[in-house]
Amino acid sequence: MRYFLEISYNGSTFHGWQFQPNVISVQETIENALKTILKEEIKIVGAGRTDTGVHAKYMCAHFDYNNKFELSQLKINLNSFLNQQIYIKDIYRVNDEVHARFSAISREYEYYISLAKDVFSYKTSHFIHQDLNIEKMNQAISIIKDYENFEAFSKSKTDVKTYLCNIIACSLIEKENILIFRIKANRFLRNMVRAIVGTILEVGLEKIPPEEIHSIIKSKDRSKAGLSMPPHALFLTKIEYPCNIKS
């Protein structure tokens, strides 16, 4: 039988979601907790992978387990066992063919940019002390939404079959002294969001004009785009699935 975990985590102390030897990952931490509680080796499959230091307000993972257990009690036990950096929001049964990664329709990320020095949010936002031209940044975003090939924003030397992504929505939201870059797509490449944010910030700082986004994307050259922004301000916020996945 297949089960879904809905998870949120603070990624600051983890080397990303995916298991890696000799370092602590979110995936391995949850698997160890499940093994302790269920007395069986449990492997979980995430909806994707977040890099070192990246957070998730909403991540999904599935695991298979055929013995009986109480769902609500497992949730309580997991949250008691795990430290404060990981929270299991929900556990529920899904159809056996549902896959946390491949059944996902879309994913959404947010990157937080602080426009004023804030002693409380500096660990989860990136402080920019210069003035930004928000209008030009929005122009750049409009250009990005017209494209599908994002090789210029992908981490170099990654093993991917395609650089095509369907950007469903992309916007800037201003909330007091915080600027939130929000992007939703069917899939993302490694480092893609942080590279896009770095490039848009160069537009906002008026280092490059918005129109240059066209040539950057068409070049398919990572060196033409902006710097990759630090991971601590990036959050995975939503994952969308078909409405009929629950068993």
Distance from C-alpha of 33 to C-alpha of 81, rounded to nearest angstrom: 7
* Concatenated DSSP letters of 103-134: T--EEEEEEEEESS--TTTTTTSEE--S---H
105 within 8 A of 186, measured Cβ to Cβ: yes
**Residue 240, phi then psi, degrees to nearest 5:** -105, 135
51 noted as active-site residue: yes
Among 51, 90, 118, 131, the one annotated catalytic: 51
Q: How far is C-alpha 133 from the chain's CA centre?
A: 26
49 within 8 A of 30, measured Cβ to Cβ: no
| Residues designated as active site | 51
